[in-house]
Structure 1
Amino acid sequence: MTRRQFLQTSAAGAIASSASGCGWTLAEVQTQASSRVSSDTLYIYTWAGYTDRDLLDRFSQETGLKVVADVFDSNESMLARVQAGGAGAYSVIYPSEYMVQKMVELGLLAELDHSLLVGLEDLFPQFQNPAHDPDSKYSIPISWGTTGLIYNRKLLDSEPEDWDYIWENQDQLAKRMTLVNDVREVMGASLRRLGHSYNSTDPEHIRRAYEELVKIRPAIASFTTDAWRPQIIVGDLLLAMCYSSDAAEVMPENEDLAYITPDSGSSLWIDTLVIPKSAPNPDGAYQWINFMLQPDVAAQIVERLSFATPSRVAFRKLPKELRNDRALFPPESVIARSETLSPLPPEINALFDRYWTRLTSG
């Protein structure tokens, strides 16, 4: 299971899955929303791999609530479904930091009542007052990490240190590397390589970033957020752009695999818990958030699902080898060179999308 994997495992009736971003209609979403008003069931909308049987069983045992988890594979597909009427189907949603800002602007999220939450003081200081949501007014951080490169040390002539490696070694990497299926991440990496911000709104910067990506397009096997995993484990791929949590989970499968956050900087992602305004079970939503804030629950999630926790109390409960895992918990020097994604103006989003369509369909 991966942070961004559009696959899921059934948890003996505790988890129900639904295709995200495709295969659903407005009528289906509205029907689904109207049928999900139940005080004994909690519907959540999350990234695949963010729950497992043990987690859901324990929550049900502690609260008496059954959990149904639908999954999405990108923030954009999640937002599209929510705007099509899906907000009324779910009581908890897991957007990333930049999408929280966008959902707030669209009036989709309920303001959190902190008097109903237990454990906020256990978070690291930087997560108690995050830039994307000051004072955690609408969201609670649940996991975080970086975006970087996983690679096979044995099969490569040299090891990557920065984004430049892809451009400089595209002949060796030809059709044996992948980039994530995410416009902001891929365009952002190219922008960063050129010395610009992931959040640049300068059309010239964006154009140049696109043109640089066109140069390596023939060498890219695919744009995928998850399909690289089995391929890099067996050596079919040499390198893949991925999220740190996914790398931490995959590397034990092959001792030749390593992960780096590029020297010039990368994106620092934060996934969160939010309650939509039209949540059918807000009481259950607060119970879920409080459950996830429990340090022992958060620590077990790190161990079982390979996600870095924003809880300093949970961090102290981890085995030493996990606390020292640089893929999960990068040093401050790496964090200082990275930046979170911010929402972009509509016209800049449209520009990104046009370039992305050209790049991925080329």
Structure 2
Amino acid sequence: MKFRTLLAAAAGAVMLVSGTTMALAEKLVISNWDGYMPKDMAEKFKAATGIDLEIAVHATNEEIMGKVTASGGEGYDVLFVSSPFAEALNNLGLLAPIDHSKIPNLANLYPEANELKHDPGNTFSVPYTWGTTGLCYRSDMVKTAPTSWNDLLSPTDDLKGKITMLSTDRWLMAAGFLADGLSVNTTDQADLDKVRDQLIAAKRNLLAYDDTTFYSKLVSGEALMVQAWDGWCNYGITDKPDIKYVIPKEGSDLWVDTMVVTKASKNPEAAAKFIDFVMNAENGKWVVENIMYKSPNKAGMEAVDKSLFEKYPNMSITPAELLKYEQLRDLGNGMKAFSKTVSEVMAAK
């Protein structure tokens, strides 16, 4: 009996050590854009939960989409992707459902953040940032403030050669769609052909296609007007207050960047803990102050010093106003014709 007791105690100790080892060895693999969350996120998350983070970086949605579809999601736990890609991954059966009971900080979201068209109720994705796309310009150097997408596509002579547009497929085409009063999700061939021709004509007046340094071109004066995501325009405003942001009268798309959990994740509970940690008020506040994007995290937005909204007026767009704009959606089979059209624009001289 005594021997058995000692043996049982020893076994219990082994189980305890083994359990501790497993906890210490527990690790999540996150893929995100560079600089899109706090640099000390891994350290803070481990201190709070004991779980290690391995953070991979992807440059584009297309890059991580390719990796995940090729591997079936193996090797990844949580992905940061824009909503059309989250929707596509879910339609391919590669995402796990979001267990709201394990993410209490979802209560920090604005009510409107539960009404997003790509995923009503946030069943497979959790919104991280959201915003608009518009025109960012040098108010001290542009004779007439832009008000329309056509000011970008058919510029006045003084702006020719001093304009940049986004090269990312969905946003490049959206400029033409919005200018023509079309849905940003249209796949109608006649609409695609019309916008293709407009974008080819507009290409002749561009300084460049630019998705990453357009705000610095504005600061230097090399560019006078650019198509921009609102937060990236704020980077320019930081260095040059004469830079202004406007949503054209025809409107904007509503873009949403999200967090999703892969169905192949070996640690779904830990993944839920990570998302819950990201959704606390402190991290929501960091997003606004550092990425310069609006956050659907109401608690985070309310923690920000209100002077920030005065310096960057586009931060003050309300969730209700955002939801008036059409959200980019997964185009499914329609993406083939869409991508072909973009290729034709890019190949045109």
Conservation of the 8 A alpha-carbon contact between 2:112 and 2:320: no
2:15 alignment counterpart: none
Q: Per-residue deviation at 1:86? A: 6.7
User: Does the alignment pair 1:282 with 2:268?
Assistant: yes
1:4-83 aligned within 5 A: 39-83=25-69
Structure 1: gaps spanning 5 or more residues: 1-37
Q: Per-residue deviation at 1:194? A: 0.6
2:342 counterpart (356, 359, 362): 356
Residues of 1 paired with 2:29 and 2:246: CA distance? 36
2:229 alignment counterpart: 243
Residues of 2 paired with 1:56 and 1:238: CA distance? 39
2:244 counterpart (258, 280, 285): 258
Conservation of the 8 A alpha-carbon contact between 2:85 and 2:330: yes
Q: 1:60 to 1:174 in 2, by over 3 A?
A: farther
SS of match in other structure, 2:35: coil
Give the letter for the 1:178 counterpart.
T
SS of match in other structure, 1:133: coil
What value does the CA root-mean-square deviation take over the aligned residues? Answer: 2.0
Q: 1:334 to 1:118 in 2, by over 3 A?
A: closer
Q: Per-residue deviation at 1:279? A: 1.6
Runs of 4+ in 1 over 6 A off after TM superposition: none
Structure 2: gaps spanning 5 or more residues: 1-23
Give the letter for the 2:330 counterpart.
P
User: Does the alignment pair 1:295 with 2:271?
Assistant: no
SS of match in other structure, 2:256: strand
Conservation of the 8 A alpha-carbon contact between 1:179 and 1:241: yes
What TM-score, normalized by structure 1, do the two folds share? 0.83
Give the letter for the 2:196 counterpart.
Y
- Fraction of identical pairs, as percent: 25
SS of match in other structure, 2:313: coil
Conservation of the 8 A alpha-carbon contact between 1:265 and 1:337: no
Single out whichever of 258-267 and 57-66 deviates more from structure 2: 57-66
2:207 counterpart (217, 221, 227): 221
User: Does the alignment pair 1:91 with 2:70?
Assistant: no
- Measured against aligned partners, the alpha-carbon deviations of 1:24-68 in whole angstroms (never above 9, x if no partner) come to xxxxxxxxxxxxxx9443221112221232433322322233323
| Count of residues in Structure 1 that have an aligned counterpart in Structure 2 | 324
What TM-score, normalized by structure 2, do the two folds share? 0.86
Conservation of the 8 A alpha-carbon contact between 1:248 and 1:328: no
1:318 alignment counterpart: 304
2:255 alignment counterpart: 269
Q: Per-residue deviation at 1:219? A: 1.4
Q: 1:255 to 1:323 in 2, by over 3 A?
A: closer
Conservation of the 8 A alpha-carbon contact between 2:105 and 2:280: yes
Q: Per-residue deviation at 1:179? A: 1.1
2:294 alignment counterpart: 308
Q: 1:339 to 1:52 in 2, by over 3 A?
A: same
Residues of 1 paired with 2:284 and 2:318: CA distance? 20
Conservation of the 8 A alpha-carbon contact between 1:315 and 1:323: no
2:325 alignment counterpart: 338
Conservation of the 8 A alpha-carbon contact between 2:106 and 2:276: no
Conservation of the 8 A alpha-carbon contact between 1:111 and 1:137: yes
Conservation of the 8 A alpha-carbon contact between 1:120 and 1:128: no
1:134 alignment counterpart: 120
2:220 counterpart (221, 224, 234): 234
Q: 1:344 to 1:312 in 2, by over 3 A?
A: same
Single out whichever of 219-228 and 91-100 deviates more from structure 2: 219-228
Conservation of the 8 A alpha-carbon contact between 1:145 and 1:329: no
- Measured against aligned partners, the alpha-carbon deviations of 1:280-322 in whole angstroms (never above 9, x if no partner) come to 4323311210111111221122112212111222222111123
Conservation of the 8 A alpha-carbon contact between 1:223 and 1:360: no
Residues of 1 paired with 2:308 and 2:173: CA distance? 31
Residues of 2 paired with 1:335 and 1:136: CA distance? 17
Larger radius of gyration: 2
